[in-house]
Amino acid sequence: MSGGLLVAGTTSDAGKSVVTAGICRWLARKGVSVAPFKAQNMSLNSFVTREGAEIGRAQAMQAQAARVEPTALMNPVLLKPGGDRSSQVVLMGKPVGEMSARGYHGGRQAALLDTVVGCLEELRSTYDAVICEGAGSPAEINLRRTDIVNMGIARAARFPVLVVGDIDRGGVFASFFGTTALLSAADQELVAGYLVNKFRGDVSLLEPGLDMLLGLTGRRTYGVLPFQHGLGIDEEDGLRVSLRGAVRESVVAPPVGDDVLRVAVCAVPLMSNFTDVDALAAEPGVVVRFVDRAEELVDADLVVVPGTRGTVKALCWLRERGLADALARRAAEGRPVLGICGGFQVLGEHIEDEVESKAGSVAGLGLLPVRVRFAREKTLARPVGEALGEPVEGYEIHHGVAEVTGGEPFLDGCRVGEVWGTHWHGSLESDAFRRRFLTEVARAAGRRFVPAPDTSFGTLREEQLDLLGDLIEEHADTDALWNLIEQGPPAGLPFIAPGAPPAAPTRTKEAL
């Protein structure tokens, strides 16, 4: 069996995904065969693997950092929220039903431990190292009994745990100490130490605190990663553009043509795969922003209605906020609108949904000649084709089946005037197609915008992943990290009171 490490965090968004990707890229550059793993992910940003499995986009990005092909083994459980209290459960890349949070944590989650341990075992039999990412915080003591993604998987695999803390939020020392002290004695045995993320300033000023933390916990800090702009990766969730740093930097440099191009993305409820606009944000002279008011569409040269896990809910939201009328005016005026997946569906004439919202028959915005019927079986595909005379590839994740009754064909969807619609996510990452599409948008918008002839989204992504690898290599104790991965948690780590009471017994696999 190979070695491994669990990257946990003091909080959500502490930097677990970034650190996991950075460690994967550092190891891959050293010639180590490495794979990422996240037992359970909650995200509306997902990806389709080549075998047709749906996994979190963060794990697909980490696989790219590791220079391996992503598979369902790397994210066996994916939860896709459909509201405040329920989520679609995706198991081994396929949806298996909707479940409330109470129902999932009340028994289903613990029952999945065998599955996730089996996936981790298979990865460990294939790769030299497996770098696991936790979820939220390992000190969520109300959920510890059924945990399969933090200390639950660390205990099963006997993996050392590296706890990441975001110092930019403040209180990082208290967070490190409190996270450790809230764990049971058996869990604390695996917490090897800490990694500070997003530090600004002189590291020497931080060192006395790190020494005191060592004295208090008996655990060392394995590195202090500096705050760095432009380190966007595929986010799990939230209203952020993964390449937001690149957006700001590209605006500083003059566009290739005389004008910039303004893109407004409607921030619909349960927005999914907003990473589709990353490739637009990477273009010099393209300014991308999320909007939720009708007046914010007025000066936009292109409006994107993105994917959503709640098509009917998004449709109602667009109408309530006046955005539906604004989109209709744009269509009548010949101003560009692009709908992707759920955004494509709302632009159609009619939606029949007894699956997602169970709303039955609902009128769409009527901007495209499309009728949508929601099927119980989800479409998961990796299509390849051509549009605007250029090769395109993407991926599909949807329950809605579109019947196109008119317009010009466009990526298995259609185009009417300057309104475009497709189920394909990721199509804008195809460089030649993206340039042709932006040229069409600029023409229709009356902008003297010219796409840069040499922007390569794939190259930009690789540069970002290399930056993450550089952060680990230059600012972490890589010899000590490798020793953790190979040898496991240090012996004799002290117990920090008070410690949580022992969790209910769960299956362990000492031979894993």
Active-site residues, by number, are 341, 425
- Residue 439's Cβ-count burial label (10 Å; 0-12, 13-18, 19+) is middle
Q: Which residue reads 């298996």 in tokens?
A: 96
CB 296 within 8 A of CB 260: no
What whole-number distance in Å separates Cα of residue 35 and Cα of residue 264? 36
- Tell whether the torsion through CA atoms of 282, 283, 287 and 288 is positive or negative: negative
Task: HSE, CB side, 13 Å, CA atoms: give it for residue 165.
Answer: 23
Cis peptide before 494 (omega within 30 of 0): no
What whole-number distance in Å separates Cα of residue 74 and Cα of residue 96? 18
**Phi, psi angles (nearest 5°) of residue 309:** -85, 0
CB 363 within 8 A of CB 349: yes
What whole-number distance in Å separates Cα of residue 189 and Cα of residue 116? 22
Q: Which residue reads 């043509």 in tokens?
A: 257
**Phi, psi angles (nearest 5°) of residue 266:** -70, 120
Residue 51 sits at the vertex; the CA angle it makes with 45 and 57, to the nearest 5 degrees, is 15
What whole-number distance in Å separates Cα of residue 151 and Cα of residue 155? 6
If phi over 0 gives left and psi between -120 and 50 gives alpha, with beta otherwise, what is residue 273? left
In sequence order, the β-bridge partners of residue 7 are 133, 162
Q: What is the largest CA-CA distance in the chain?
A: 71
Q: What are all long-range contacts of 435-444, with beta carbons under 8 Å and residues at least 24 apart?
A: 435/390, 436/388, 436/389, 436/390, 437/387, 437/388, 438/261, 438/280, 438/283, 438/286, 440/336, 440/388, 441/261, 441/301, 441/302, 441/336, 442/257, 442/259, 442/261, 442/301, 444/334, 444/335, 444/336, 444/418
What whole-number distance in Å separates Cα of residue 2 and Cα of residue 187? 21
What whole-number distance in Å separates Cα of residue 266 and Cα of residue 287? 14
Reported residue count of the chain is 512
Residue 440 CB neighbour total at 10 angstroms? 16
